[in-house]
Amino acid sequence: MTSVYEEKDQARVGYDLALGIPGYKYSDLYDAKKLQELAEKFYAEVSAAEPALGDALLKYIETRGHGLEKRAESKILTDAAPFLSDFVARMFHITKEREHLQNRITEQDPIWKYKFFVQRKASKTYKPEAIAELDHAGLTRALTDLRNNGFSQTLVFDDELGIATMAGLLVDAEEALSKEAEQTASIRETVAGINRTYEKLKDGPFGKVFEEFVLKTEATGDLLTVKAAVGILEAWSAIEFHKKEKRWKAFKTPHALDYQNLVHLIHPEPEVPNVMRGSDEEMRRRDGFKLTDDRGTMRDALYEIDYCMICHERGKDSCSTGIHEKDGSVKSNPLGIKTDGCPLDEKISEMHLLKKQGDPIGSLALVTIDNPMCAGTGHRICNDCMKGCIFQKQEPVNIPLAETASLTDVLQLPYGFEIYSLLTRWNPLNAKRPYTLPYNGKNVLVVGLGPAGYTLSQYLLNEGFGVVGIDGLKIEPLPAEWTGMQTESCRLKAESWNSVPSVSRSCPKPIRDISEITEELDERILSGFGGVSEYGITVRWDKNFLTMVQLMLTRRKRFRAYGGVRFGGTLTIEDAWSYGFDHIAIATGAGRPTIVPMKNNLIRGIRQASDFLMALQLTGAFKKDTLSNLQVRLPAVVIGGGLTGIDTATEIFAYYPIQVEKILQKFEASAAEFGEEHVMKQFDPEELMIVNEFLEHGRAVRAERERAAAAGEQPNFVPLVKNWGGVSLVYRKRLQDSPAYRLNHEEVQKALEEGIDFVECMSPTEAVPDDFGAIKAIKFERLNYTAETGKFEKTGDIHEFPARTVCVAAGTSPNVIYEKENPGTFKLDDWQQFFRSFKVEKDADGKQHLVEAAKGETGFFTSYHRDGKFISYYGDNHPKYAGNVVKAMASAKYGYSHVVDLFADELTERGTLPQAERDAVFDKLKATLDEQLRAYVVKVERLTPTIVEVIVKAPLQARKFEPGQFYRLQNFETSAPVVDGSRLLMEGLALTGAWVDVEKGLLSMIVLEMGTSSRLVSLLKEGEEVLVMGPTGTPTEIPTGEGVLLAGGGLGNAVLFSIAKALRDNGNRVIYFAGYKNGADLFKREEIENATDQIIWATDFGTEIEPHRPQDAHFRGNIVQAMIAYAEGNLGGQSVPLSDVDRIIAIGSDRMMNGVREARHTTLKPFLKQEHVAIGSINSPMQCMMKEVCAQCLQRHVNPHTGEEFFVFSCFNQDQHLDFVDFKNLNDRLRANSVQEKLTNLWLDRVFRSSKKLTAS
């Protein structure tokens, strides 16, 4: 850690530290010209030290690695890597620390030598049947005596390394003495140590054991002494080796692979053999959402490296290149998975060789050649390399573990993060791009900042491009001292709406200790950066790595990232070209989840897995200090057989105890504040049942935690969760057929160890509702597998599984939503799933044009081509690279060069432009986008006791608004206040635009304070940066020359006046029924009146609304009653008689809209046209609002004419035909989190009451 004195010194001189390479300082590492100089200095050092290697390296770099046989390339790189390691260590003044790390690695070498002795000699001398005749206790005592008295120098090590070191000395002495070689000092000391022990202990147990082994050898002299000692070691080692539990790496052997039985299972229910689970002995005690896998120790990683055959030296490194048939095709393993090896062609064997030599910096340098963003890969992320490992019949080398260890070994060094960061933009061993090029004046818009997007950004930045990344998710800012980016404080007042906070750059703080930028995962700021890596991958993987990736990119001068920008909504293709972008790269990842066909498949309690994981891991529902609501009940069933299903099951299992513990805490605090009777009055009968269930379970969790604390052990929640129904993953085929098993059986094993059940050969048929309409069980039909045909046949055997929560993880489709919104923009493939693949070629005259990729070819371009501009695509959008993180990164690695090639001629012509002139291009773009895309609060105004208007400056979002569309409003976790232990962080709020001022860039949204997040809006401060994602949804259809009836209830009236204005402006006549519970709730009266021909005000109680215009009227009652009274002529004149109404647009609560729907067919039917159109703006629960991604907004429809059931995404089109909408289903789903929402509301009441710091607007 940085000392107090260092911090004071840095405060005086800044962060621009002098490097260990004379003439260079830290900020030079972000200067392209300086990086080139450093590379040249490095090459000169190598040439001076080893001229032949220097010449070979320079030739390799100059030819960009072309024309060199792979083994020759590996030899150059592995020979040069130690020089680079030394150069980098000197650069950061850590030569001693590097040497210490090298010693720590190489001092483990005796273990691997001992392992060879145990497995090749001891285990052969003593077979399992001979072990029983050995005196284990006596041998253990004798070996301990020998070590303590004769080899005390090994006592500084742990037992495994100590005994391995002693074993090495003994074996070396035996070998030398057997060959009658000259005795070295080490051999003499070894013999002396044995003799010393014998002389001291010959009359005790040691002497007896030693003499037994003396009698077993015919050797004489010193060799006799050594052989007896080796005999003791050999016998003891054999006993330990043959034990079932291998406590040391030296005793571990790779197990044979039985591809049909790769995981350990038991069948606990004989009557239902389809149910499988892990054994109790293998259960792991997980408590919450800290990192669940510590990635093992240095020794664990070194074991894997010792196990590796270092195949690159023989050209057999199939882990990197794949296993091929004689005809060149890729082999498949017995599960049908291609053994392609690493999609990135990472230099794995070379990495292992350097690490084995004690050089993790050199090892990491080789990794970053092909995998610069290796922080996003490795342990518990990818395993394609393991599938391609040369060991196909036995356990493969755990390469991802070793890869991540090479990274983390470096990260643990002083300035380790800076070393890794440097190697991603300066790596003189990388022939294709040894150092970052200066900015070339060309800018690329990267759409999506998941693994494909952030990796593509990295490659393009190194090629000199400016890169702007956009993502629909909220991306939290990193601390300014880390990034060197300072944003001035923002005060937006009415007279200065055109002001924009400027961003300045300074030297970032060098990160000396990695702990400065890492956090416990259950306390970490949920950054949103990284896409699916952030919300789709669980805490089995350390998401601090995402923080590192984000920081590395954010520090780049020609990179900018904007969250909350929806491609096709906020920003279109045409916008990108108008801002001056030269290319667009689409890396938007997976899209629409698959809906499983079964009866009642969207009743309350059923959700998509993507919805659950996003809600859990982006809102921070698992964190102690958040106010987000994610309600889960047990038993839980996850439908699916992929890794998403596995992750969903484990996270439900882990989340449930956290959930009920938080609920108990909030309940007790609220009851203490307001009284238990008051708290319980908030809940209806169903909710009372649920809350009592949660409280009972919460007390059990608390009791287990207290028991464990008293016993000094980790709490064990597995029996509790299982007793409450547990979590089951149910798949329609066999376990062995599931994608999770075939692709990554290790994750299946880990999931079973956390307590989930796996149920195979079950196909869902029906969700069974309880008396309240929520799911209580789910029916499955058992399928029968026929080995001869490989088919699954229905049996008619129905099994009903209890289920209070069901998550569907049945796969996704690529995200091609832009084409759905803008048909004709892109050509899709024959299945209408992926973009159709094209290449860019040149005509004879040099002009570029698209050519469709032939079968078997890989194209990276979509069909889009306008005015010389193209659009490329990557990751899950690309059929070749869809499926996992490392494939997404591979698409960037192999696709970026095609983008570079587009501009090769132009960049050559522009090569003489002054650099300052080029730099100005990106600076202008950055300033424009900062002004257009970032949103700041201008004003928060309370309109009524329960309604707040928030006005933001968000120019592009405002300009794109069309009546009916809505936005996702959020505050940032980094700036959210923390009061009484609660971070006042809003969940994403779906808010319709009320009005916009395009000229000033202002957008108004109106909030009804119903729940926690909506109540937090009033706390937003003037000048505070917020996220306003959108517009999203579909603009309301505005006809011409029609009679239109608008029915608004409560907040719906805020939505309708912009629609009413558009209708009037387009030549329609508008009759507006404005409903309020209380007349005091009226707001924006003048705007409503200006946009309508006639208004009927309707209030349930309280203050009546006095009409201001002669044609308007007030009615005491609900909206439907007001419509009837109007139709019957009881409210005066009729500017728009109901018989003239062509279209009804209803916006309000689901009950109000359903009331309008029903009345049209009953009480209002005599007054309405038979063929009128009736639309409702459906207020489905929403989360991402990015259109067909999380699927929380799924709405059930039933065709009233045919009875056909289908489902729509309300965030894609919120305006839906009233007669199609299943309003009961909507009402049920709106109540999915109701218990938590009511408790959290009470908790917020308590926070507001107790804190004098909070003053609502």
Q: Judge whether 445 and 901 are in contact, CB under 8 Å.
A: no
Q: Mean pLDDT over residues 138-161, rounded?
A: 97
CB 1027 within 8 A of CB 969: yes
Contact (Cβ atoms closer than 8 angstroms) between residue 295 and residue 405: yes
What is the Cα–Cα distance from 1012 to 983, expressed in whole angstroms?
Answer: 12
Nearest-angstrom CA–CA distance, 456 and 561: 13
Average model confidence (pLDDT) for the chain? 95
- 1187 pLDDT exceeds 50? yes
Under a CB-based contact definition with an 8 Å cutoff, are residues 453 and 587 in contact? yes
How confident is the model at residue 81, as a pLDDT? Answer: 99
pLDDT confidence tier of residue 6, bands split at 50, 70 and 90: very low
CA distances from 261 to 281, 650, 746, 1172 (A): 18, 21, 12, 62
Average confidence (pLDDT) over 495-501: 57
Q: What is the pLDDT of residue 14?
A: 72
* Chain-centre distance for alpha carbon 155: 45
Helices and strands in the chain: count of H runs, count of E runs? 43, 38
Q: Is 440 helix (H, G, I), strand (E, B) or coil?
A: coil
Q: Residue 495 pLDDT > 60, yes or no?
A: no
Instruction: Please determine, for residue 2, whether its predicted confidence score (pLDDT) is greater than 50.
Output: no
pLDDT for 486 equals 81
Could you give phi then psi for residue 940, rounded to 5 degrees?
-120, 120
Higher confidence at residue 179 or residue 909? 179
HEC string for 995-1057? EEECCCCEEEEEEECCCHHHHHHHHCCCCCEEEEEEEECCCCCCCCCCEEEEEEECCHHHHHH
* Rounded (to 5) percent helix, strand, coil in the chain: 45, 20, 40
Block residue for tokens 């079968």: 855
Write down the pLDDT at residue 488.
Answer: 66
Instruction: Round to whole Å and give the CA distance between 1168 and 1142.
Output: 9
- Side-chain-side CA neighbours of residue 228 (13 Å): 25
Query: Residue by residue, what is the 3-state secondary structure of 676-712?
Result: HHHHHCCCCHHHHHHHHHHHHHHHHHHHHHHHHHHHC
In this model, does residue 5 exceed pLDDT 70?
A: no
User: Does pLDDT of 1252 surpass 80?
Assistant: no
Q: What is the pTM of this model?
A: 0.95
> CA 471 to CA 476: how far, in whole Å?
12
pLDDT digits (tens, 9 = 90+) for 242-260: 998 888 999 999 999 999 9
* Distant-in-sequence, close-in-space partners of 646: CB < 8 Å, separation ≥ 6: 729, 740, 747, 748, 751
494 pLDDT higher than 60: no
- At residue 762 the predicted structure's pLDDT band, cuts being 50, 70 and 90, is very high
**Degrees to nearest 5, angle at CA 615 with 948 and 571:** 65
CA-CA distance, 1213 to 1209, in Å (whole number)?
A: 7
Does residue 859 contact residue 840 with C-beta atoms inside 8 Å?
Answer: no
Residue 802 β-bridge partners: 777
Reading the block at residue 967, the tokens are 């936005």
pLDDT-derived band at 489 (thresholds 50, 70, 90) equals low
Nearest Cα residue to 657 out of 696, 627, 628, 620: 696
- For helices 70-91 and 51-62, give the axis angle rounded to 10 degrees: 110
Pair 742, 770: CB distance under 8 Å: no
- For residue 13, pLDDT over 60 is answered with no
838: tokens are: 């094209």
Burial of 36 (0-12, 13-18, 19+ CB in 10 A): middle
Closest to 790 measured CA to CA, from 742, 733, 741: 733
Closest CA to 1180 of 1205, 1204, 1216, 1135: 1216
- Burial degree of 284 (CB within 10 A; 0-12, 13-18, 19+): middle
Give the mean model confidence (pLDDT) for residues 657-683: 97
What is the 8-class DSSP label of residue 24?
A: -
What pLDDT is stored for residue 600 in this prediction? Answer: 97
Q: What is the pLDDT of residue 907?
A: 86
pLDDT in tens, 972-1012: 999 999 998 899 999 999 999 999 999 999 999 999 999 99
Average pLDDT over residues 590-610: 96
Predicted local distance difference test score (pLDDT) of residue 755: 97
In 3D, which of 544, 504, 510, 508 has the Cα closest to residue 527?
Answer: 544
pLDDT in tens, 350-359: 999 999 999 9
More confident residue, 1255 or 727: 727
Structure tokens at 310: 């270092």
d(CA 1063, CA 1040): 8
Which pLDDT score, from 0 to 100, does residue 504 have?
74
Residue 336 CB neighbours (<10 A): 9
Here the tokens at position 342 are: 């690493």
Q: Do residues 551 and 493 make contact, with C-beta atoms less than 8 angstroms apart?
A: no
1188: left (phi over 0), alpha (psi -120 to 50) or beta: left
Across 1101-1140, b (16+ Cβ under 10 Å) vs e yields eeeebebeeeebbbbeebbbbbbbbbbeeebeeebbebeb
- Neighbour tally for 734: CB within 10 Å: 16
* Dihedral angle over CA of 957, 960, 963, 965, nearest 10: -60
Burial of residue 904 (number of CB atoms within 10 Å: 0-12, 13-18, 19+): exposed
Beta strands in 604-743 (DSSP E): 606-608, 636-639, 727-730
Least Cα distance to 384 among 365, 371, 369 occurs for: 371
Q: Judge contact between 564 and 968, C-beta under 8 A.
A: yes
Angle value at C-alpha 274, between 270 and 278, nearest 5 degrees: 80
Kindly tell me the burial class for residue 625, based on how many C-beta atoms sit within 10 Å of its own C-beta (0-12, 13-18, 19 or more): middle
Task: Tell whether the model's pLDDT for residue 4 goes beyond 60.
Answer: no
Burial of 198 (0-12, 13-18, 19+ CB in 10 A): buried
Planar angle of CA 1249, 1252, 1255, nearest 5 degrees: 90
pLDDT at 1027: 98
- Above 60 in pLDDT, residue 855? yes
If you write DSSP's letter for every residue of 761-824 in order, what string do you get? SEEEEEEEE-TTSBEEEEEEEEEEEETTTTEEEEEEEEEEEE-SEEEE---EEE--HHHHHSTT
CA distances from 39 to 58, 408, 420 (A): 11, 25, 16
Q: What is the mean pLDDT of residues 509-533?
A: 97
Query: Quick one: CA torsion of 717, 720, 724, 729, rounded to 10 degrees?
Result: 40
Over range 686-708, report the average pLDDT: 98
Share of the chain above pLDDT 90, in %: 92
What percent of the chain shows pLDDT beyond 70? 97
Residues 6 or more apart whose Cβ sits within 8 Å of residue 1101: 1077, 1078
Q: Does 340 score more than 50 pLDDT?
A: yes
pLDDT at 180: 86
